[in-house]
């Protein structure tokens, strides 16, 4: 009974660290978009220079670099941990954090929200690295 209660509390807990995984997010975003994710589309989105966003951040690679297995650097000079889960196991393990940063950075780079398909594609590509 006690264990059941603990489980109930855990299940009801809000988005704390460790509430998802790269595979789980990939499945969720793919299901939401209704199409299978495509790593090559994700790579193209991540590495392209886009218009429409803020002038200082034309591409994901502005801060994350062309090699997401390596650390990036914010425009402030501060290091950014690698985006690829193989190089940084903490990546894509917290839904609220993932949504917060997709929200911010898609707006900074593209000037709009990313679609579920785009999020799935990017995660699919990062998962292959």
Partner 1 sequence: MKRLILLLAFAGPAYADDDFIATVTDPLTKTECSACHMAYPPVFLPAASWQKIMNNLPDHFGEDASLPEADARNIEAWLVANAASERAIKGVDLANPPLRISELPWFKRKHDREVSAKAIARAGSMANCAACHRGAESGYFSDD
Shortest separation between residue 112's beta carbon and partner 1, angstroms? 11
Told to check if 112 binds partner 1 by CB under 8 A, we report no
Exposure b/e, 103-127, CB count within 10 A at least 16 = b = eebbbbbbeeebebbbbbbbbbbbb
Told to check if 51 binds partner 1 by CB under 8 A, we report no
Considering only the stretches 1-9, 10-18, 52-60, 119-127, report the one whose residues sit in contact with partner 1 under the rule CB under 8 A: 52-60
Q: Which of 33, 61, 69, 107 binds partner 1 (CB under 8 A)?
A: 107
Shortest separation between residue 63's beta carbon and partner 1, angstroms? 9
Told to check if 8 binds partner 1 by CB under 8 A, we report no
* Closest CA relative to residue 86, chosen from 64, 68, 104: 68
Question: Coil, strand or helix: which one is 90?
Answer: coil
Q: Which of 36, 52, 89, 103 binds partner 1 (CB under 8 A)?
A: 103
Q: Which of 15, 48, 66, 74 binds partner 1 (CB under 8 A)?
A: 74
Q: Measured between alpha carbons, how far is 27 from 107 in angstroms, rounded to an integer?
A: 23
Told to check if 89 binds partner 1 by CB under 8 A, we report no
Segment holding 97, helix H or strand E? helix 95-110
Beta strands in the chain (DSSP E): 72-73, 79-80
Told to check if 88 binds partner 1 by CB under 8 A, we report no
* Closest CA relative to residue 58, chosen from 124, 105, 120: 105
Q: Name the β-bridge partners of 72.
A: 80
Using CB under 8 A as the criterion, which residues of the chain lie in contact with partner 1 when the complex forms? 54-57, 73-78, 100, 103-105, 107-108
């Amino acid at each position: 009974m006690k264990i059941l209660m603990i489980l109930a509390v855990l299940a009801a807990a809000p988005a704390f660290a460790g509430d998802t995984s790269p595979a789980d997010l990939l499945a969720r975003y793919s299901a939401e978009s209704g199409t299978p994710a495509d790593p090559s589309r994700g790579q193209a989105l991540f590495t392209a220079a886009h218009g429409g966003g803020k002038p200082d951040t034309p591409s994901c690679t502005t801060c994350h670099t062309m090699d997401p297995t390596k650390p990036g650097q914010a425009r402030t000079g501060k290091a950014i941990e690698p985006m690829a889960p193989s190089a940084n196991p903490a990546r894509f393990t917290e839904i609220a954090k993932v949504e917060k940063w997709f929200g911010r950075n898609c707006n900074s780079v593209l000037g709009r929200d990313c679609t579920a398909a785009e999020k799935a594609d990017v995660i699919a590509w990062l998962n292959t690295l």
